[in-house]
């Protein structure tokens, strides 16, 4: 353990030095974490996820994804998107694969586990984090952990598995910090912009593929997700079939007409003869060949609205206009 001797000595030397030490300490506290030295435990902020203003583009990153703190410091993870994420430290010997893919039916993945101080080797989970309330899921807006011991600790978002990872480097108490919170915030802003660019490029590629008989259910890569049907409005004739296709790598969606069923994960209704009422695809998984498609044949004229039951609260809705 190191101590800040400059300040320590002030307490029992000349009153002038004492006063100077207090002034220094106050300026350090006012400025937040300094790169040179520390005085008492600090609190740090990590953003969980990112999004476009209209929630169309969702990012899969902890910002910053790597942070260096000292023993005794606290990290506060703050939900920064409508999409759900978790902050999850695995137990020693526990494999990430055993928890993937994310299963909303497993309470351990949905709920907060572990205490307020990270012990370095047990399963800790924030539960679901989001910056809005999410229908059907318990969510929190933030999660805090104090790190009492040195080490490098990796954590994951269980919802976005292999692609969303963060690391906390905990140094000896009193060490100099390599970066300030302001440094992290600046680089996070740059990364957020890159994520949005990536998402808009994905969106543009969907727009090039879609037509009145092929709707893409959004998409995702390892950086961002598009939470929109492309195109959201299509026009077809009675007897036509519209294929809803998920071209993504990981994110599931649904196509749900009428009232959402109690179990949104399983299919219901008859997609071969749809003339209105209730019809739901169940999960349309990404990256599953023919299972990544849901075909609906419309047997009556009308305007049929549908939603993605997982992402409708972000604006993921569409309609099929069927004419005679
Ligand atoms: Cu969706």
Give the domain CATH number at 102: 2.60.40.420
Mark the ranges of the chain whose per-residue pLDDT is less than 50. 1-36
pLDDT for residue 38: 52
Ligand 1 centroid to Cα of residue 98, in Å, is 24
Q: Tell me, yes or no, if the pTM score tops 0.75.
A: yes
Rounded distance between C-alpha atoms, residue 249 and residue 163, angstroms: 11
Determine the pLDDT at residue 36: 45
CA distance linking residue 70 with residue 68, whole number of Å? 7
Residues 275, 312, single domain; the answer is yes
The answer to the question of residue 103 being in a domain is yes
Whole-number Cα distances in Å, 42 to 6, 105, 139: 19, 37, 26
Distance CA 222, CA 157 (A): 13
User: Are 174 and 290 part of one and the same domain?
Assistant: no
Coil vs helix vs strand at 37: coil
Please check whether residues 123 and 218 belong to one and the same domain. no
Q: 46 and 167 share a domain?
A: yes
Ligand 1 center from residue 177 Cα (angstroms): 41
Gap between the Cα atoms of 157 and 80, Å rounded: 14
* Per-residue confidence (pLDDT) for residue 129, from 0 to 100: 97
- Expressed in angstroms and rounded, the spacing between residue 227 Cα and the centre of ligand 1 is 6
CA 101 / ligand 1 centre spacing (Å) = 16
Dihedral sign for Cα atoms in the order 214, 218, 222, 223: positive
225 φ, ψ (degrees, to nearest 5): -130, 145
Q: Return the pLDDT at 25.
A: 39
Distance CA 175, CA 101 (A): 39
Q: For the chain, what is the domain count?
A: 3
Question: What is the pLDDT at residue 4?
Answer: 31
Q: State the distance from the centre of ligand 1 to the C-alpha of 251, rounded, in angstroms.
A: 7
**Domain interval for residue 24:** 1-31
Q: How many residues does the chain have?
A: 324
Q: Which residues surround ligand 1, an ion (CB under 5 A)?
A: 253, 308, 310-311, 316
Same-domain status, 190 and 48: yes
What is the 33 CA–ligand 1 centroid distance (Å)? 40
């Amino acid at each position: 353990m190191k101590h800040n001797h400059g300040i320590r000595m002030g307490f029992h030397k000349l009153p002038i030095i004492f006063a100077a030490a207090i002034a220094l300490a106050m300026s350090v506290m006012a400025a937040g974490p300094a790169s040179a030295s520390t005085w008492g435990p600090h609190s740090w902020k990590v953003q969980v996820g990112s999004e476009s203003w209209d929630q169309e583009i969702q990012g899969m990153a902890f910002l910053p994804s790597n942070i260096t703190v000292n023993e005794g410091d606290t990290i506060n993870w703050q939900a920064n998107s409508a999409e759900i994420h978790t902050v999850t430290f695995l137990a020693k010997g526990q494999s990430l694969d055993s928890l993937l893919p994310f299963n909303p039916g497993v309470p351990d993945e949905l709920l907060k586990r572990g205490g307020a101080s990270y012990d370095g080797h047990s399963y800790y989970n924030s539960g679901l984090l989001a910056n809005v309330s999410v229908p059907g899921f318990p969510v929190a807006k933030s999660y805090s952990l104090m790190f009492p011991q040195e080490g490098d600790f990796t954590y994951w978002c269980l919802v976005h598995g292999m692609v969303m990872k963060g690391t906390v480097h905990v140094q000896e108490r009193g060490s100099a910090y390599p970066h300030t919170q302001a440094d992290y915030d600046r680089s996070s802003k740059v990364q957020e912009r890159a994520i949005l660019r990536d998402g808009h490029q994905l969106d543009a590629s969907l727009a090039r593929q879609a037509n009145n008989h092929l709707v893409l259910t959004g998409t995702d890569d390892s950086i961002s997700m598009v939470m929109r049907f492309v195109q959201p409005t299509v026009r077809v004739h009675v007897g036509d079939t519209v294929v809803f296709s998920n071209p993504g790598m990981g994110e599931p969606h649904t196509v749900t007409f009428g009232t959402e069923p109690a179990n949104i994960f399983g299919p219901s209704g008859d997609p071969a003869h749809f003339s209105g009422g209730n019809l739901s695809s169940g999960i349309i998984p990404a990256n599953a060949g023919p299972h990544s498609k849901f075909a609906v044949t419309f047997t009556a004229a009308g305007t049929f609205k549908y939603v993605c039951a997982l992402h409708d609260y972000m604006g993921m809705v569409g309609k099929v206009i069927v004419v005679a």
